[in-house]
């Protein structure tokens, strides 16, 4: 890829532009994008214009820019996440109908839990998870499951810290986290009371491929002091059914 005078590649600049969009910042002006991406104004305007031209970004009547549906379409249609989501959806709906709290599906992405689906009911309690949002591995039930059943090298990197506290219950001591991961492997699931927000308890189970390697975590977010038994039974049952559905896709 051709480089700019400052040495960063076309692709690098493109990614920086796209990364200025976040779950809470979905609409921006080209000037704001340029500032946030650290690009000269004229470069930002040119890149944004080109991306709008091909449909990866869209411009509204006020000339403000958002992520285009074309980008969503291209990213979604051939992704592994879509295949997983399709296999999981009927069983997530069953969990959600029976437990009547948030049910969510996460995969490991760049050392964080990335949420590819989330179902809720109006009566469900607090939940900070967003679809296409991320949570730290050491602080969420899904993350803990992805970590506990993940590769040794990943565990070593996360245990080396920093283990940032999100609440007073977040595990920030490497020895305590190592013990928690061993407990999760023994039990086959994670329960994380108050670890990412004080008012909730996350409960998560692994979803594995035919070799036994973990591919995702399925979780429920409950009010902090709610019983976890029903959620655990339903999550384990759903994980087995999702694994079977994934095998049948081959």
Member of 27, 128, 182, 187 binding ligand PHB (CB under 6 A): 128
Tell me if 96 contacts ligand PHB by CB under 6 A. Answer: no
74 part of the interface to ligand PHB, by CB under 6 A: no
Judging by DSSP bridges, how do beta strands 57-59 and 65-67 pair with one another? antiparallel
Element containing residue 118 per DSSP (H, E): strand 112-119
Map tokens 């759903």 to a residue: 238
Report the site for ligand PHB in 215-244 (rule: CB under 6 A): 219, 221
Residue 71 CB neighbour total at 10 angstroms: 17
Asked if 170 is part of the footprint of ligand PHB (rule: CB under 6 A), the reply reads: no
Kindly state the smallest distance separating residue 3's Cβ from ligand PHB, in Å.
41
121 is a site residue for ligand PHB (CB under 6 A): no
Total residues found in the chain within this entry = 250
58 strand-pairing partners: 66
Cα separation, 50 vs 93, whole angstroms: 40
Q: Could you tell me if 203 and 228 are in contact, meaning their C-beta atoms sit under 8 angstroms apart? A: yes
Q: Provide, rounded to whole angstroms, the least separation between the CB of residue 218 and ligand PHB.
A: 10
- Is residue 103 within the footprint of ligand PHB (CB under 6 A)? no
Q: CA torsion 7→10→11→12, rounded to 10°?
A: 30
Pick the stretch among 31-39, 62-70, 140-148, 227-235 that binds ligand PHB (CB under 6 A).
140-148
The CA-to-CA distance between both ends of the chain, in Å, stands at 36
Select the residue interacting with ligand PHB from 34, 136, 202, 206 (CB under 6 A): 202
Nearer to ligand PHB, 196 or 207 (CB): 196
Binding site for ligand PHB (CB under 6 A): 126-129, 140-142, 192, 195-197, 200, 202, 204, 219, 221
């Amino acid at each position: 890829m051709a480089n700019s005078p400052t040495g960063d590649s076309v692709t690098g600049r493109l990614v920086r532009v796209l990364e200025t969009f976040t779950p809470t910042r979905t609409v921006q002006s080209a000037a704001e994008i340029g500032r946030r991406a650290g690009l000269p104004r004229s470069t930002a305007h040119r890149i944004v214009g080109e991306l709008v031209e091909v449909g990866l970004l869209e411009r509204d009547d006020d000339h403000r820019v958002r992520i285009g549906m074309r980008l969503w379409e291209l990213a979604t249609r051939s992704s592994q996440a879509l295949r997983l989501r399709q296999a999981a959806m009927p069983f997530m709906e069953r969990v959600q109908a029976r437990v009547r709290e948030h049910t969510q599906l996460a995969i490991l992405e760049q050392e964080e839990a990335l949420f590819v689906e989330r179902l809720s009911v109006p009566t469900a309690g607090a939940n900070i998870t967003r679809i296409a949002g991320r949570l730290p591995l050491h602080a969420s039930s899904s993350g803990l499951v992805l970590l506990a059943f993940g590769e040794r090298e990943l565990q070593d990197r996360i245990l080396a810290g920093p283990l940032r506290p999100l609440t007073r219950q977040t595990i920030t001591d490497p020895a305590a986290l190592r013990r928690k991961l061993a407990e999760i492997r023994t039990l086959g699931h994670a329960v994380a009371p108050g670890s990412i927000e004080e008012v909730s308890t996350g409960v998560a189970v692994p979803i594995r491929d035919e070799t036994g390697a973990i591919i995702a975590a399925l979780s429920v977010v409950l009010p902090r002091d709610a019983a976890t038994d029903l959620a655990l039974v339903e999550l384990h049952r759903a994980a087995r059914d999702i694994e079977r559905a994934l095998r049948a896709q081959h």
